[in-house]
Amino acid sequence: MSEPESTSQKRRDFRNFWQSVGYALEGFWAAVKHEPSFREDLIFVIVLTPVAIILPVKAVSTAVMLASLFVIVIAELLNSAIEWTIDDISLEKRLFAKRAKDMGSAAVFLSYINCAVVWGVILYSNWHRIQTLEFLTWPPQFLQ
C-alpha cells in the first residue's frame, strides 16, 4: 500500500534547522521559567559540572559523569512535557493521567540513581588519585 501524498511538504533546509533550534530554546526557557523542579535539577548540574571537569579522572570518565548529569535534565524536560500535556487536556483526576505522570517522575528518579551509581563507581575507582588532592595544586604538573 502506498502512502498518500502530502499536500504540504515540510521544508528541509538550513532555515528549518534554525527554526528548530529556536523551538528548542523556547522549550528550555519555558521549563526554566515555569518548572521549579527543572530549576533545581539545573542547579544540581551546574554545581557538579565543574567538579566532574576538575577531578583527576580519564577523559572518558569525565564524559560519562557529565552525560549522567545531562540525563537528569533530559528526563526532567520529558517529565515536565508529559505533565503539562496531561494538565492541558484536563485537570480532573484520572487514573491513566496519574500513571503517566508517575512514570515520568520515575524516569527522573531513575536518572538520579543512574547518576549516583556512575559517580560512585568512578570516584571509588579513582579514589587513590582524588584523596591526595594533588590536582588542586598550582601550577599543575603539565605547566611545570
Q: 80-97 pLDDT, tens per residue?
A: 999 999 988 987 888 899
pTM: 0.80
Task: Please state, in angstroms and rounded to a whole number, the distance separating the CA atoms of residues 95 and 98.
Answer: 5
Nearest to 104 by CA among 85, 72, 84, 76: 76
Q: Across all residues in the chain, what is the average pLDDT? A: 88
**Confidence band (pLDDT; 50, 70, 90) for 141?**
low
- CA-to-CA distance for 119 and 104, rounded, in angstroms? 23
Q: How confident is the model at residue 2 (pLDDT cuts 50, 70, 90)?
A: low
Q: Which fold has domain 36-128?
A: Helix Hairpins (1.10.287)
pLDDT of amino acid 129: 85
pLDDT category at 125 given cuts 50, 70, 90 is very high
Question: What distance in Å separates the CA atoms of residue 125 and residue 108, rounded to the nearest whole number?
Answer: 26
Map out the domains of the chain as residue ranges: 36-128
Annotated catalytic residues are 76
Residues in Cβ contact with 68 at an 8 Å cutoff, skipping those fewer than 6 apart? 111, 114, 115, 118, 119
With beta carbons less than 8 A apart as the criterion, state whether 96 and 139 touch.
Answer: no
What would you report as the CA-atom Rg of the chain, rounded to the nearest whole angstrom? 21
Instruction: Write out the DSSP string of 125-142.
Output: HTHHHHTT-GGGSSS-GG
Predicted pLDDT at 140: 58
